A = this chain, B = another copy of it.
Amino acid sequence: MAQVRNKQVILSNYVTGFPTESDFNIVESTITLELPEGSNDVLIKNLYLSCDPYMRSLMSEGPARKGSLSYTPGSPIGGYGVAKVIESGHPNYKKGDIVWGFTKWEEYSLVSAAQIVTKIENSDVPLSYYTGILGMPGMTAYAGFFELGSPKKGETVFVSAASGAVGQLVGQFAKLTGCYVVGSAGTKEKVDLLKNKFGYDEAFNYKEEPDLDATLKRYFPEGIDIYFENVGGKTLDAVLSNLKVHARIPICGMISQYNLTEQEGVKNLSKLIYNRVRLQGFIVSDYYHLYPKYLEFLLPKIKEGKVVYVEDIAEGLENGPTALVGIFSGRNVGKQVVVVARE
């Protein structure tokens, strides 16, 4: 079989501090669209790629590296994506299936079946949703808020990075549960989205709040029951001084810290004691067994318009590095997706 072009996004060097576009190269390699003899892997055509904060940790050299997923200079970077099966050596998948899972930033990838989270059976929502609301970020919001947050009607919820891929859902889940929810974001446009699109009760631009402790006291005079932690650092410190007794803090990420060579110190941890607070880190892949339950919960709500989702779409793999780098300065509005191909 003939070889075809396989455009790739390559890590050019290990990253220190904020990633920039020069940390990535676009190269054109070639690939034979045929599985090796006897392979039980799956050959896929990548359609939509997901830009997610955790990817920063895969770009570093040294102890922060997270096992086999970490990137190596000279090789294509990886991440979650939606893809079409070209050829399959594994009984669970066949040619033409649409799947989502962990793939590489290139036009075609050879992946193991273990990298595929699931086949996509429902196609009357945008396929790109499986990089966001119906993919890893959606499951992160669902598992973090419902499983770790244990929300009850009438409780108070604070969400940082609230207009992002995860935060916009946490706010809507909180409202569906009957909670009071406040979100923070970094631009006026995002704050407007939070209030007018996602149904947050209140929202503020953290860049315009010189005293975050005072801001939180204004929005939560009685304190916070659940803080959905996406950012870490100074925000966490201010939250620690504004918690209710038995508060819960699910931690899915600390994006404010990922690009610092030295982490900010969090000073108010002793507040956890008297308030009996549970602070719990989690990795979404531990909760993928709940995915069918999540689809059952969410798909009807998407179709009825009761849960909405905002995406920021970059067209073309060659625009991937710019899109990816942008999420670390909050340039994206909503979930950042890169379209490689539409089918």
Contacts and interface: CB of A to CB of B under 8 A. Distances in A.
A42 B279 CA distance: 40
Contacts of A262: 267
Given A265-B264, A267-B263, A267-B265, A283 B272 contact: no
Contact of A270 (B232, B265, B273): B232
B270 A275 contact: no
Given A265-B267, A267-B265, A279-B279, A273 B286 contact: no
Interface in A274-288: 274-283, 286
Please state the number of chain copies in the assembly.
2
A29 B236 CA distance: 48
Nearest to A243: B281
B273 A253 contact: yes
Contact of A279 (B257, B274, B275, B280): B280
A269 B269 CA distance: 10
A266 interface: yes
A263 B66 CA distance: 31
A159 to B, nearest CB: 17
Nearest to A257: B270
Select the residue from A232, A251, A252 with max chain B CB neighbours within 10 A.
A251
Nearest to A268: B263
A116 B115 CA distance: 59
A281 B247 CA distance: 10
A254 interface: yes
* A: contact size bracket: 20 to 34
Contacts of A266: 265-267, 269
A276 B267 contact: no
Given A257-B270, A269-B236, A281 B286 contact: no
Interface in A281-323: 281-283, 286
Select the residue from A236, A262, A268 with max chain B CB neighbours within 10 A.
A268
Contacts of A283: 273-274, 276
A153 B35 CA distance: 47
Contacts of A268: 263
A278 B286 CA distance: 15
B265 A276 contact: no
Contact of A275 (B253, B267, B278, B281): B281
A267 to B, nearest CB: 4
A254 B267 contact: no
A28 to B, nearest CB: 34
6 contacts: A263-B267, A263-B269, A263-B270, A265-B265, A276-B280, A278-B278
Interface of A: 66, 232, 236, 251-254, 257-258, 262-283, 286
The 7 closest A-B pairs by CB, nearest first: A265-B265, A272-B281, A273-B281, A263-B267, A279-B279, A254-B270, A278-B280
Given A232-B269, A263-B267, 9 more contacts: A252-B273, A254-B270, A258-B270, A263-B269, A265-B267, A266-B266, A272-B279, A276-B280, A276-B286
